[in-house]
Structure 1
Amino acid sequence: MRSRYYVREPHHAHFVTATIVAWLPVFTKTERCDIIVHALEYCRQHKGLQVHAWVVLDNHFHAILSAPDLSRVLADFKRHTAKRLIEQLQSERCDWLLKQFAHLRLRHKIESERQIWQEGSHPEALISDDMLMQKLEYLHNNPVQRGLVAAPEHWRYSSAHEFCEGAVPLLKCDPWR
């Protein structure tokens, strides 16, 4: 992992992005998106992760996260979700994606046959409330900007539901402070 991808402000929440290699459209089915949601919840319960906001799109996800060792949690998260996504794609017989992941694997990734995630998560420390609000707005409006929905709360795989009265979110978020 390159040094510019390290978490350098461990006491702050971070805006992170994880992107599928070559921006391939993986998260086009509920079962695949649920892998991300369940892994975030597992990391909350077992690895000290706090999830403050999140959104899953077809080829990447954004989140505002914090943890005592966020770099390690993210590495574990990506390793686990890659394995689960491969299993899911195999069960769906989605050979074209599996072949792409094998073809796009970086040569130094010798521990696996395929590569699902691009390297790094581009963590950006949110050191002010203004920064945090800007990233929260960007994250929740991403599906709107891409023309997928009319309003952030219409996107199922997003924490925007938490801000709607009476809505039941897929993944409950942790408070900011």
Structure 2
Amino acid sequence: MPNYRRNRVPGASYFFTVALLERRKSLLVDHIDVLRQCVQQVRTQRPFYIDAWVVLPDHMHCIWTLPGGDADYATRWRLIKLLFSKALPATETLSSTRQRRSERGLWQRRYWEHTIRSDSDFARHVDYVHFNPVRHGHATWVKDWPYSTFHRFVGNGVLDPDWAGDVGNLPTAPE
């Protein structure tokens, strides 16, 4: 089994990309209320601050800040994925490996993690999160995509409703 190296810094901010196994599905937006409930349930048990988040049909990007002294984002993701999977009927096609392991076939096993290293890195990743629906062709304008913390940023006066991002300055994150 590969030994994935994860950077764990207690109290840090992290950028994540988490994807469904079947990338042509739209389970995340079709069941957005279930996903929100699962995230809230995990946040109740293991708190973290949601700095930015966008949910697309088949994947999501987010930035979390963990409490001081805590670097355990892996357990939080495991619980969110588990709760979401348990809440949906088992209709997906399973590989023989997943059948042997009694696993669901909703999520890719791995996810992308990046530890935020500076204020400018944080700002670039927040922009990346918010611009993603436009990048993927799900919306013409950032403000048109309902499943994003962009609307919270607008409501708090941080961003203008017509913000379109500095596309040339956005980081590239693996999907």
Tell me the TM-score range normalised by the shorter chain.
Answer: 0.7 to 0.9
Match of 1:34 in 2: 33
Q: Structure 1 residue 111: deviation in Å?
A: 4.1
Match of 2:164 in 1: none
Match of 2:80 in 1: 77
Q: Is the 8 A contact 1:5 1:120 kept in 2?
A: no
Match of 1:94 in 2: none
Q: TM-score, normalised by structure 2?
A: 0.75
CA change 1:121–1:74 in 2 (3 A) is same
Q: Structure 1 residue 2: deviation in Å?
A: 4.9
Residues 1:8 and 2:8 are matched in the alignment:
yes
Match of 2:167 in 1: none
Which amino acid in 1 is paired with 2:117? I
Aligned to 1:16, the other structure's residue is in SS state: strand
Distance in 2 between residues matched to 1:64 and 1:106, nearest whole Å: 34
The equivalences for 1:99-118 within 5 A come to 101-103=92-94, 105=95, 107=97, 110-112=100-102, 114-118=104-108
Distance in 1 between residues matched to 2:40 and 2:107, nearest whole Å: 19
**Structure (1 or 2) with the greater helix fraction:** 1
Q: Is the 8 A contact 1:20 1:118 kept in 2?
A: yes
Q: Structure 1 residue 73: deviation in Å?
A: 0.9
Residues 1:60 and 2:96 are matched in the alignment:
no
Q: Structure 1 residue 47: deviation in Å?
A: 1.2
Q: Structure 1 residue 124: deviation in Å?
A: 0.7
- The CA deviation string for residues 95-151 of structure 1, in whole angstroms up to 9 with x for no partner, is xxx2xx333x46166442531100122111001111111111111100011222222
Residues 1:163 and 2:166 are matched in the alignment:
no
The equivalences for 1:134-173 within 5 A come to 134-165=124-155
Distance in 2 between residues matched to 1:26 and 1:149, nearest whole Å: 15
Q: Structure 1 residue 11: deviation in Å?
A: 2.7
Matched positions, count: 153
> What is the RMSD computed on CA atoms of the aligned residues?
2.5
Aligned-pair identity (%): 24
Distance in 2 between residues matched to 1:145 and 1:165, nearest whole Å: 23
